[in-house]
Chain A
Amino acid sequence: MGLIDAPTPTVVSVDPVNSEGWITTRLDFLVNWGRANSLWPMPFGTACCAIEFMATAASKFDLARFGMERMGYSPRQADVLICAGRVPFKLAPVLRRIWQQMPQPKWAISMGACASTGGMFDNYAVVQGIDTIIPIDVYVPGCPPRPEALIHAIMMLQKKVMKDRMSDSAARVEMDPDPASQLYIPPSRIDQLSEQFGNSIPQMRSGQ
Chain B
Amino acid sequence: MSGFTVIQSGTAPGLPTPASPKNVPHRGGAANPSAEALKAQFGDAIRRVEVVWGETNVTIDLARALDIVRWLHDDPSQHYEYLSDVTAVEFRDRGMPIEVIWHLRSIKYRRFLRLKAPLAKGQPLKVSSVWSVYKGADWLERECYDMFGIVFEGHPDLRRILLWEQYAEGFPLRKDFPLRGRFSRAEQLRQALSANPEARYSMEELSIADAFQELPLDMRARIRGGESTGE
Chain A positions near chain B (C-beta within 8 angstroms): 89-90, 92-94, 96-97, 122-125, 127-128, 132-133, 177, 181-183, 187-188, 190-191, 193-194, 196, 200, 203-206, 208
Do the beta carbons of A206 and B197 come within 8 Å of each other? no
Do the beta carbons of A96 and B193 come within 8 Å of each other? yes
Q: B197: which A residues are within 8 A, CB to CB?
A: 93-94, 97
- B126-175 contacts to A (CB < 8 Å): 162-164, 169, 172, 175
Q: A181: which B residues are within 8 A, CB to CB?
A: 190, 193-194
Q: B186: which A residues are within 8 A, CB to CB?
A: 183, 187-188, 190-191
Do the beta carbons of A92 and B180 come within 8 Å of each other? no
Chain A interface helix/strand/loop/mixed: loop
Q: B162: which A residues are within 8 A, CB to CB?
A: 90
Name the one of A188, A193, A196 contacting B180, with C-beta atoms under 8 angstroms. A196
A94 to B92, CA, bound (A): 36
Say how far A199's CB is from chain B's closest CB, in angstroms: 11
A205 to B176, CA, bound (A): 9
Which one of A96, A125, A128, A196 has the highest number of Cβ atoms from chain B below 10 Å of its Cβ?
A: A125
A182 to B197, CA, bound (A): 14
Say how far B92's CB is from chain A's closest CB, in angstroms: 8
Do the beta carbons of B178 and A125 come within 8 Å of each other? no
Does B205 belong to the interface (CB within 8 Å)?
no
Q: A89: which B residues are within 8 A, CB to CB?
A: 164, 188-189, 191-192
A132 to B192, CA, bound (A): 12
In the A-B complex, the 10 residue pairs with the smallest Cβ-Cβ separation, listed nearest first, are: A187-B186, A124-B181, A89-B192, A182-B193, A194-B185, A190-B186, A208-B178, A92-B192, A93-B197, A94-B197
Do the beta carbons of B181 and A90 come within 8 Å of each other? no
Do the beta carbons of A123 and B189 come within 8 Å of each other? no
Do the beta carbons of B190 and A183 come within 8 Å of each other? yes
Do the beta carbons of A122 and B193 come within 8 Å of each other? no
Does B184 belong to the interface (CB within 8 Å)?
yes
Q: B181: which A residues are within 8 A, CB to CB?
A: 123-124
A109 to B195, CA, bound (A): 24
Do the beta carbons of A203 and B192 come within 8 Å of each other? no
Do the beta carbons of B190 and A90 come within 8 Å of each other? no
Q: A182: which B residues are within 8 A, CB to CB?
A: 190, 193-194
Assess A93 versus B195: contact at CB under 8 Å? Given A124-B179, A191-B184, A206-B177. yes
